[in-house]
Amino acid sequence: MITVVFYIFIFLSIYVQVFFLVTFLERREEIHRREGRVIPSRFPSITIAVPCWNEEQTLERTMCSLLKVDYPKDKLHIFLVDDGSTDSTLERMRTFEKYSNVKVFHKENGGKYTALNLALGYCQTEVFGCLDADSFAHPEALRRLVTYFDNPQVMAVAPSIIVDHPRNIFERCQKIEYEWAVYIKKMLGFLGGIHVAPGPLSLFRRQVFNVIGSYRPAHNTEDMEIAYRMQKHHLKIEQCNDAYVYTITPNSIKKLFKQRLRWIYGFLNNTMDYRRLLFKPQFGHFAIFTVPAGLISVSSVLYVFGRIIGNLIEWVGDKLNQISAVGWNLSLSFPHLDWFYFNTKSVLFLFLFLYGLIIVSILIGRYMTHGKFKFSPAIFYFIIIYSFLAPFWIVKAVWDTTRRKNPSWR
């Protein structure tokens, strides 16, 4: 029974990767990576909200990137919203009030979604967006993003997020992960199955909020919930692979753990909130593929983690048995080099296929990001380190979900 469950999980995991690859092969001609200045057919007016809570370290750089964005100044409005910061964020915000298109708001601390809703209340432009205060927009980002609004069906468009100057191994691993996500998100965009409109510079037609309402607490993942809600209302979300936003990522295991715990917790709980959409064909690939694929990932990792723990307990039991039988005087046994002893079970080949597909996906993502296939040893660091770490934040997220304990932001 255990073996059957294991094979089902690995089949589904490979299925998901093949599905992405088939989508890529079908739609690859439609993937463009624009290098130079883009001239959109029109420049819709845009409001970008920058919600801040204790962002004195990065606010200036975020603002400078926004001010340097190549977009008509009279069409771009920047709302800086201080969500009750306890540091000098508000004072720093005030220094930008000299720019005519910048407005500063201050409110009691209430969470990111409340800051966004405040900005939304004042928004009078055709398009509304958000830029997290730890992210920096590429100068061409807005021009490239708005081209997607030429299609009147498109209600929101998400950018490609890239790790800003990775310094240590964890940040380099995340850089690979984000580049992989460029590919995954683009494929989900083709499928109409995007499930997150990320905080860094996703743009929405203002009318979206008139239809579906404002931001909600959403288990501290309001950018995920808004996408779920849009999918529920059949509002199309696109992915612009060549609109880049650079973001600062967690630089330690602890910070990474907290961030991913929040994301996975948000995914599980938003999925539960919108469970009625699941597997209903009228909600398209979002309900049939995207969310089930996420659930398969979470379940597979939990299952494999459980088996690893089980094997570890068995190994410790064997060693204790050995010690009780022959004492501590254990001779060292080295692995046999004879090929006969290499594992040739089918599961090994299935894992090779699965990881092969993942590596191919990462390389395509890097191609879509950098314009060339770049192999990096960090791909292996990413696979190895995430294989070790991911089960922990997934297990914790499931545990917190059972206890209804909402993880904090930081």
Partner 1 sequence: MKVDWKKYVIVFFITSALFLTAIYLSNYFNNRKLENLKSIQDKISIDILSTETKFTLLQELACKEVDKTFLSDELNELAQKIEYSERNLGGQNESVTDLKKYYSLLQIKDYLLMRRLKERCGIKSNFILYFYSNTGDCPECGKQGLILTALREKYPELRVYSFDYHLDSPAVRALISIYKVGRDLPGLVIDGQLQPGPQTIEEIEKLIPPLPKNIKPTEETEKN
Q: Is 321 in the site for partner 1 (CB under 8 A)?
A: yes
| Beta carbon of residue 287, minimum distance to partner 1 (angstroms, whole number) | 9
How many Å apart are CA 199 and CA 222, to the nearest integer? Answer: 9
| Beta carbon of residue 333, minimum distance to partner 1 (angstroms, whole number) | 10
Token reading at 12 = 């589904």
| Beta carbon of residue 191, minimum distance to partner 1 (angstroms, whole number) | 7
| Beta carbon of residue 186, minimum distance to partner 1 (angstroms, whole number) | 15
Task: Please provide the size of the chain in residues.
Answer: 410
Choose one: 14-22, 71-79, 142-150, 211-219; the region binding partner 1 (CB under 8 A): 14-22
Binding mask 378-407 for partner 1 (x = CB under 8 A): ------------------------------
Q: Is 166 in the site for partner 1 (CB under 8 A)?
A: no
The answer to whether 139 and 242 are in contact (CB under 8 A) is no
Q: Which of residues 205-264 bind partner 1 (CB under 8 A)?
A: 236
Q: Which whole-number Å values give the CA distances from 221 to 108, 216, 251, 265, in the listed order? A: 20, 9, 21, 9
Q: Which whole-number Å values give the CA distances from 255 to 132, 221, 388, 410, in the listed order? A: 17, 16, 16, 7
Q: Which of residues 181-210 bind partner 1 (CB under 8 A)?
A: 191-193
Q: Which of 2, 42, 322, 409 is the binder for partner 1 (CB under 8 A)?
A: 322
Q: Which of 40, 217, 284, 292 is the binder for partner 1 (CB under 8 A)?
A: 284
Binding mask 328-357 for partner 1 (x = CB under 8 A): -x-x----x---xxxxxxxxxxx--x----
Q: Please give the full DSSP string across 303-361, using - where no structure is assigned.
A: HHHHHHHHHHHHHHHHHHHHHHHHTT-PPP-PPP-SGGGS---HHHHHHHHHHHHHHHH
| Beta carbon of residue 105, minimum distance to partner 1 (angstroms, whole number) | 37
| Beta carbon of residue 18, minimum distance to partner 1 (angstroms, whole number) | 5
C-alpha angle 126-131-137 in degrees, rounded to nearest 5: 100
| Beta carbon of residue 351, minimum distance to partner 1 (angstroms, whole number) | 9
> Strands (DSSP E) along 84-212, which ranges?
102-107, 127-130, 135-137, 154-163, 203-205
Q: Please give the full DSSP string across 101-127, using - where no structure is assigned.
A: TEEEEEE----HHHHHHHHHHH--SSE
Residue with tokens 């509002």: 235
Q: Which of 2, 5, 22, 313 is the binder for partner 1 (CB under 8 A)?
A: 22
Choose one: 28-36, 123-131, 284-292, 400-408; the region binding partner 1 (CB under 8 A): 284-292
Q: Quick count: other Cβ atoms within 10 Å of Cβ 367?
A: 17
| Beta carbon of residue 22, minimum distance to partner 1 (angstroms, whole number) | 6
| Beta carbon of residue 302, minimum distance to partner 1 (angstroms, whole number) | 21
C-alpha angle 145-265-310 in degrees, rounded to nearest 5: 125
Binding mask 117-146 for partner 1 (x = CB under 8 A): ------------------------------
Residue count at the site for partner 1 (CB under 8 A)?
Answer: 37
In the sheet with 102-107, reading across from the earlier edge strand, the strands are 102-107, 76-83, 46-52, 127-130, 203-205, 154-163, 236-247, 135-137
Residues that bind partner 1 (CB under 8 A): 11, 14-15, 18-19, 22-23, 26, 191-193, 236, 281, 284-285, 288, 318, 321-322, 324-326, 329, 331, 336, 340-350, 353
